[in-house]
Structure 1
Amino acid sequence: MNYTFLDNAATTPMDKEVIEEINDKMINVFGNASSTNFYGRQAKGVLETSRHTIAQSIGAKDTEIVFTSGGTESDNTAIISTALSRSEQGKHIITTAVEHEAVMKSMAYLENLGFDVTYLKPNEEGSITSEQVQSSLTDETILVSVMYGNNETGAINPISEIGELLKDSQALFHVDAVQAYGNYDLDVNDLHVDFLSTSAHKINGPKFIGFLYIRDGIVIPSYLKGGDQETKRRAGTENVPAIAGFAKAVELISGVDKQKLQEKYFGYKKIIFDILRQNDIKFEVNGSTKIESLNQILNIYLPGIERGILLTRLDIDGYGISGGSACTAGSLEPSHVISAMFGEESPRLNESIRISFGKYNNEEEIKNFSEALVKIVKDLDNIN
């Protein structure tokens, strides 16, 4: 059976060129980048060349890129280290009710330490407004953390507007851009952000590597305690082969027209919509139907169709999708994102699925998936 992978928001398959780059560096550049001998200098050279490639991809300086183990560590570092180091200036933080668990659980941890967190409620398209941020700001606000695009619905937030709003505030601005990076052109200066989190495995790179952008002039303590790597901002020996693989993945996406990429994914959405409508399948989109979203992500509500059963049937038929965030979907717990958008009693919590596209998908796969989805939904409707 040919298996079609449509869970790219959870992870993406590594590009062959990335794998080759990692293998080469594992074999030929095995030194510790902190060592001063030949092998260490060789590793340091690869590390800094990779840092430069990645910095250029977001309009940053090389010195503003700190390598981490991925999006979770980047989010944790930006949020917790900032809060703990700036608590004398205030203990108020603003975020949204639809952030990734890496942000939500960081906020819960800080609340237990006495910080006050405001969770902005999204509209039914899953986004918030800059006006909501403005009305929630106080003299005690030290940090605002808002994701660029949602990992379950694809909803995009007005990051540049929020960044502009915060320029005259003491509050630092953190953006989780894990899903947006590589799918949209991002420039940290245009967005007016102080921190930006990414993860390589969302752009056909390796797992367990990412970076945190920290604007020059902002000093926060290393979240991990240990050596002085990453100019004392992230302790631990750098994973040079993975970082080189990350840089290769960035090189491969740098020449991609992001607008055309989003138009292609929007076209995939339309194929699914058209086939469902042609077959009289009732559905609604959880999120925006406009092109101004992360179009690689589609979250749809299928009334009366239990999510767990549908996911199993699709998996048996050779289609890999999910019920929401991969970090929570394994337990099939109701989505906090859908709950924030539609309420805790909404049937959407247990009758919605997430489909997410990637560079290796094509129109034929999307058509075949849509037809399989129609057949399964009709079968389940007949059983019900």
Structure 2
Amino acid sequence: MQNQFKDHNHTVQMQHSNSMKLNERKVKDLMVNKKRLVEIPYTASLGQTMNTLVANKVVAVPVAAPPGQWIGAGGSMIVESDKQTGAVRKHYIGMVTMLDIVAHIAGDDHLSNGDYLIQDLDQRMSVPVSSIIGHSFEGLSLWTLNPNTSLLDCMEVLSKGVHRAMVPTDSEIENTNISPGVELVESSSSYQMLTQMDVLRFLKDHSNELQSTLHSRTVQDLGAITERIYAITDRTKLIDAIKCLKAAMLNALPIVRASDVCEDDHKQHINGRCRKLVGTLSATDLRGCYINTLKSWLGISALAFTEQIATSPLYTASDKPNDIGNSTRELVTCYAESTLSEVIDKAVAKHVHRVWVVDQAGLLIGVVSLSDVIRVIRQSMLSDSDT
């Protein structure tokens, strides 16, 4: 009898959930199957941090420190406290991403000697993770979202280039009418992580509520394409490609064929528009590299590196990753005439955060990022609610 009662309640909850419109959804609706937060202590070395990223198949982790000893990124005070007593156990002082680690590996701009960087790599990876917080946009601020924040407000934050936010499981902040994003004070007994990909998967699962947007309009018509593209060539060495990632503060760069007509600077990123797309270098590609392996590969081309790293067991594992790219090195592309639905399907299936836009000849003409996708869907949802 008790089990029948539980089954009935579950059925009622499911019916209620299915009857809700997307603009009525809240952040907590997206957190149902999310696991507990993966984090690292502020004393962990970069090498240990890389091991944590690899073991948990994520590309970013918050950094935890003892309370009262640090100023949080952006002045935030996001703490974990005991659920019974309220005593603060730890303070999250920032977020460290693969891009932060790549930027640190690249070193100072004036260090152009590749041999020096190779010799110095062990030392660079032994520094405490707390010393590199803030090398990227995400590390400069910790972002949190209240569980009762609306999906629309959540999408507003994630459409502006914020890739992930911490969600308290039992937030003490009740007022959700404040501007979404950074909450300077937040206390919870535990947190979970919400990413752009989580939101995209949720929207894909509820695509029947977005039929007109997903199935009849192209990414070009929706204004989802960014035409300015930083790129590297197939002759760019990995060591210089890492420096290019840092200089552009981008998580990934397209690799284009070097020009036979003009003189490309293979040590700098170039305008990739209307160039033949041949590969992609992502900051996450470095996650499967042991230090000695990375040392031996810094002198080869970035394109050759992406081909070799694809054979790493970390890329060919059968289990699906939580927050990192697919093992295949297949180029994930679309056309300007591709529908938004097609682009979402590709991004989710291949677990990539950007889909390169090419023409019929395979020339690069733009990129559609997850931020772009979330932005145009949100605009559509707002338009639908106004009509």
TM-score category by the smaller chain? under 0.3
Query: TM-score, structure 1 length as denominator?
Result: 0.24
Q: Which has the higher strand share?
A: 2
